Amino acid sequence: MTTNIAECLNEILKDARELPVTKLVKHIRGLLQKWFWERHEATTKMSTPLTKWAEKRLHRRTNKSRCYCVHPVNLYKHHMVDRYLNGLVNLSDKTCTCRKFQLDQLPCRHALAACNLRRISCYDYCSPYYYKETLATYAGSIYPVGPMQEWDVPDDIQSVIVLPPKGRKPSRRPPKKRRPSEGEEIVYQKCGRYRGVRHQFH
């Protein structure tokens, strides 16, 4: 009955939420069918070990990693010094002082410099979530439910009487936009192109 558990989903469903619940479920089913097909199709066209998104980032970071001086401390730890960083890359723990390695679980430019020095594959340090194989999650198919007359509903489900949810219905419509949490600021941005104002939470 609520979608605010995932704000990105909430954003996509913000118009569909106006629909009666059966229509909303129908809409979500259609969306899932589309997403599953698109992702499955994208996987079959992939020629790289990681997803396009991850490969692009790795490529960009690899280019930036070429100018680093790497000072090995031991087999896994490497000291890096440049204008912005005086830190340590630990390939064993998959950590770096810059914290990018921990944050998106792809080697940061410093970790890539260390991999290059060690002559080891950076792919060993990428999260399995970025691997093409993980996208096999979308190998399944989401089918249309078909006309109601053809549904094969088990007796124990048919006999269930569904009642409206308990609790008092608020007199006004629930707000579509999220209220900022405590400590969050709303930043208004002017768009020169559309002359509109949009806001972001920071």
Residues that bind Zn ion (CB under 5 A): 96, 98, 108, 110
Beta bridge partners of 197: 190
Q: CB of 79: closest distance to Zn ion in angstroms?
A: 12
Burial grade of 121 (CB within 10 A; 0-12, 13-18, 19 or more): exposed
Count other Cβ atoms within 10 Å, centred on residue 122: 19
Judged by CB, which is closer to Zn ion: 43, or 87? 87
Q: CB of 107: closest distance to Zn ion in angstroms?
A: 8
Judged by CB, which is closer to Zn ion: 78, or 110? 110
Own/partner contacts of 174-178, CB < 8 Å, gap of 24 or more, are 176/14, 176/17, 178/4, 178/7, 178/10
For residue 114, give every residue at least 6 positions away whose Cβ sits within 8 Å of its Cβ, in sequence order, or none: 70, 72, 78, 80, 89, 91
Q: CB of 101: closest distance to Zn ion in angstroms?
A: 5
β-strand 86-90 against 95-96: which pairing, if any? antiparallel
Judged by CB, which is closer to Zn ion: 58, or 108? 108
Judged by CB, which is closer to Zn ion: 50, or 91? 91
Judged by CB, which is closer to Zn ion: 50, or 112? 112
